[in-house]
């Protein structure tokens, strides 16, 4: 034999062998595990942070960030297709033969070598016995063929359940069909074009119109799975395909417009449904199609299925009151912007850029201290970044309405310098009208050095009486003004610094207590002066007032750690949402479903149809019937069936 031929034959034998198939299944299993342990398709920076530059590069080279689309994974799948196809090619003729044949050429000698066999003596009339035996086979669902032997004997060869053989063919064909469908839906066309240099992914953030042709997929792309973010009122005719750390632009044969996006909530606040009212614009249509899609209810048009996938802000209009926390001014500035837009605060070198990032109309939060209460909606919040001239940014999240914490209402604004951190919150107590104005008036008084003598005078009069010792009064007022000046520079922590510097260690606690008391008394006056200025009713002496002042002083002290002088209070918004759509063109789907149906049929045929064969060798001369039985799968059911048949046949034959 030609050695080259024999090598090819050996290779093909290996490919179609069971051993190879089972090994492939194992390798596929292990490869699949990798992709579940290592989170797939994350932004590449995350991987760099996690693994370091060296391992990141190695893993990227191995395609581990998108295992299931890597070349080596596809090669394994390809081998599985080849191996299974060879298996089918090699075994199908055999299976069909087994399916068809009655094996009526068995000889008496070979039957006697069977492990399951018996011989019955027959005294009854030959034709009657034969008749009864055939009836028996009929009753048990066996098909048979009778073959006369040379010596006058007859062999009845019977079979049942040979359709089982189709199970083998079906299951294996199914695998090939499913994998074929899967390959149709893979991104092979792009991969090939990328390798040949016709296409490349775009990794920079460009407007759609600027994306070059080599990163655009045409309408004729047979299969894709992309995303589209559509703001209310907007219309787009492209989708984005995420590939590794970049993207491609997929052109669509029609345009999609979003009329409205809705979220419905359960009574508990959890989201109940996401719905988008879509309009399909296509020159081929006389009238645009209007259709509402929701999760689990997509729309398919021109072979492209459009799914409700997620949602985000679509550029909500925002109006803010901006306070400069460190100037003693009581009047906020107006500021307006849009989510995804930008604005500016301040002037010259100190100017900050505002980047409006996100707006959420509903925030379902569990505010109960022990976490056991029910979560509820606390109203809108807005997330923005303040970026200085050096490009350093601080991120803020500010709630529009005051939130109730331990029975009191606070305006909350969180800040953080990096995404990894948690937000640290500034808690500004709301006044009696649930407004931030009370605190802002108080703050202005506390910062305004020209008001300190008035504050000090009021306190001195109250505590020392109108006719107190003027010298002492003067002294008292002076020390109060000094205290307020220190407090205005940095709140409690500034006071603590001064105490540390000037007071001997033993007396620090006592003096701190005194200062806190004095600051609290001053705060009462300052707050009321602020209210007076705004012509609001004054505070009365009460535990509530005490708490309000304590909270106000804390907020005042904390604002020095807020990272910016600007406090943005959202006072109006015009909500605009964007719907996240997923667009899929999947020509392989029907193949996969077809394969699935074949697979299920095959599995049931293979496992629940039992192939059994019976041979009855009738020898009229010897008045004897020889019975043999076989199955391609020997198990308990077969043993039981054989024993039962042997008994029943013994009765019939005799």
Interface with other proteins by CB under 8 A: which residues? 18, 21-22, 25-26, 28-29, 32-33, 35-37, 39-40, 67-68, 132, 135-136, 139-140, 182, 185, 225, 266-268, 270-274, 294-298, 305, 307, 309, 582-584, 586, 589, 592-593, 596, 599-600, 603-604, 606-608, 633-637, 648, 651-652
Decide whether 37 or 196 has the Cβ nearer to other proteins.
37
In terms of CB distance, is 512 or 594 closer to other proteins?
A: 594
CB of 232 to other proteins, least distance (A): 19
Q: Hey, which residues does 399 pair with through a beta bridge? A: 381
CA dihedral 490, 492, 497, 502 (to 10 degrees): 120
Q: What is the 3-state secondary structure (H, E, C) of 204-218?
A: CCCCHHHCCHHHEEC
- The helix/strand/coil state of 615 is strand
Give the nearest distance from C-beta 346 to other proteins in angstroms.
42
Cβ-based nearer residue to other proteins, 421 or 637: 637
Closest CB to other proteins among residues 92, 294? 294
Pairing of strands 352-360, 381-387: antiparallel
Burial class (CB in 10 A: 0-12, 13-18, 19+), 284: exposed
Closer CB to other proteins, 20 or 323, in the complex: 20
82 C-beta neighbours (distance < 10 Å), count? 16
Q: How far is the CB of 267 from other proteins (least distance, A)?
A: 6
Distance in Å, CB of 626 to other proteins, minimum: 19
DSSP strands (E only) in 117-176: 117-121, 143-148, 154-160
Q: What is the CA radius of gyration of the chain?
A: 42
Comparison of 159 and 443: residue with beta carbon closer to other proteins: 159
602 pairs with which residues across the strands?
none
In the complex with other proteins, which residue's Cβ is closer, 128 or 533?
128
What are the phi and psi torsion angles at 284 (to 5°)?
A: -70, -15
Q: How deeply is 192 buried, as exposed, middle or buried, from its count of CB atoms within 10 A (0-12, 13-18, 19+)?
A: exposed
Q: CA distances (Å), 154 to each of 25, 160, 472, in order? A: 48, 20, 137
* Of 26 and 389, CB closest to other proteins: 26
Comparing CA positions, the residue from 425, 317, 284, 430 lying closest to residue 365 is: 425
Minimum separation from the CB atom of position 647 to other proteins (A): 9
Q: Which residues pair with 359 in a beta bridge?
A: 382
Q: Report which of 235, 182, 220 is spatially closest to residue 69, judged by C-alpha positions.
A: 182
Q: How far is the CB of 166 from other proteins (least distance, A)?
A: 15
Cβ-count burial of 374 within 10 angstroms (0-12 exposed, 13-18 middle, 19+ buried)?
exposed
In the three-class reduction of DSSP (H, G, I as helix; E, B as strand; rest coil), residue 152 is classed as coil
Is residue 439 helix, strand or coil? helix
Q: How far is the CB of 592 from other proteins (least distance, A)?
A: 6
Q: Which is nearer to other proteins, 93 or 391 (CB)?
A: 93
For residues 517 and 472, give the distance between their C-alpha atoms in angstroms, rounded to a whole number: 19
- Smallest separation (angstroms) from other proteins to the CB of 90: 13
Closest distance of CB 217 from other proteins, Å:
17
The answer to whether the CB of 230 falls within 8 A of the CB of 323 is no
Q: Name the residue nearer to other proteins (CB basis): 518 or 592.
A: 592
Q: Minimum distance from CB of 228 to other proteins (Å)?
A: 12
């Amino acid at each position: 034999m030609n050695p080259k031929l024999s090598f090819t034959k050996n290779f093909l034998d290996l490919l179609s062998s069971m051993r190879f198939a089972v090994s492939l299944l194992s390798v596929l299993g292990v490869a699949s595990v990798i992709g579940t342990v290592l989170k797939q398709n994350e932004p590449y920076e995350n991987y760099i942070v996690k693994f370091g530059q060296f391992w990141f590069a190695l893993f990227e080279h191995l395609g581990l960030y998108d295992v299931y689309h890597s070349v080596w994974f596809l090669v394994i799948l390809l081998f599985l297709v080849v191996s299974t196809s060879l298996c089918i090619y090699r075994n199908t003729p055999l299976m069909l033969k087994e399916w068809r044949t009655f094996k009526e050429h068995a000889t008496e000698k070979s039957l006697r070598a069977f492990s399951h066999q018996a011989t019955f003596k027959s005294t009854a009339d030959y034709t009657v016995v034969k008749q009864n035996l055939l009836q028996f086979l009929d009753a048990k669902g066996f098909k048979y063929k009778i073959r006369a032997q040379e010596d006058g004997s007859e062999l009845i060869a019977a079979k049942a359940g040979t359709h089982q053989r189709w199970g083998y063919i079906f299951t294996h064909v199914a695998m090939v069909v499913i994998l074929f469908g899967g390959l149709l839906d893979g991104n092979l066309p792009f991969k090939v074009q990328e390798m040949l240099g016709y296409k490349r992914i775009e990794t920079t953030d460009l407007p759609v119109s600027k994306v070059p042709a080599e990163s655009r997929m045409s309408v004729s792309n047979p299969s894709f799975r992309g995303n589209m973010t559509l703001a209310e009122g907007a219309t787009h005719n492209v989708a984005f395909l995420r590939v590794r750390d970049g993207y491609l632009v997929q052109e669509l044969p029609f345009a999609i417009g979003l009329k409205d996006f809705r979220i419905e909530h359960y009574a508990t606040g959890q989201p109940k449904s996401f719905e988008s009212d879509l309009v399909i614009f296509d020159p081929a249509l006389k009238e645009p199609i209007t259709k509402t899609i929701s999760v689990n209810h997509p729309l398919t048009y021109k072979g492209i299925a459009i799914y409700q996938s997620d949602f985000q802000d679509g550029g909500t209009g925002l109006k803010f009151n901006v306070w400069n926390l460190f100037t003693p001014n009581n009047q906020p500035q107006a500021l307006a912007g849009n989510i995804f837009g930008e604005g500016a605060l301040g002037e010259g070198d100190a100017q900050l850029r505002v980047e409006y990032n996100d707006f959420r109309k509903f925030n379902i939060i569990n505010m109960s201290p022990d976490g056991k209460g029910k979560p509820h909606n606390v109203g809108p919040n807005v997330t923005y970044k303040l970026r200085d001239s050096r490009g350093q940014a601080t991120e803020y999240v500010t709630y529009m309405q005051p939130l109730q914490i331990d029975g009191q209402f606070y305006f909350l604004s969180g800040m953080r310098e990096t995404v990894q951190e948690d937000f640290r919150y500034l808690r500004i107590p709301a006044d009696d009208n649930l407004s931030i104005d009370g605190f802002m008036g108080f703050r202005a008084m506390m910062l305004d050095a020209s008001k300190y003598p008035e504050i000090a005078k009021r306190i001195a009069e109250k505590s020392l009486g109108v006719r107190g010792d003027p010298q002492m009064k003067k002294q008292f007022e002076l020390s109060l003004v000094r205290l307020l000046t220190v407090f205005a520079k940095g709140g409690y922590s500034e006071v603590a610094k001064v105490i540390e510097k000037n007071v001997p260690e033993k007396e620090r606690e006592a003096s701190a207590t005194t200062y806190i008391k004095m600051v609290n008394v001053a705060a009462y006056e300052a707050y009321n002066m602020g209210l007076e200025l705004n012509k609001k009713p004054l505070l009365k002496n009460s535990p509530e007032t005490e708490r309000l002042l304590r909270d106000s002083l804390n907020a005042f002290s904390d604002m020095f750690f807020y990272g910016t002088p600007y406090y943005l209070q959202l006072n109006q918004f015009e909500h605009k949402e964007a719907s996240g759509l997923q667009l899929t063109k999947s020509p392989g789907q029907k193949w996969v479903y077809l394969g699935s149906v074949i697979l299920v049929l095959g599995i049931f045929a293979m496992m629940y149809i039992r192939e059994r064969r019976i041979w009855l060798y009738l020898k009229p001369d010897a008045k004897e019937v020889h019975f043999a039985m076989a199955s391609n799968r020997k198990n308990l059911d077969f043993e039981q069936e054989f024993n039962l048949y042997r008994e029943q046949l013994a009765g019939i034959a005799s």
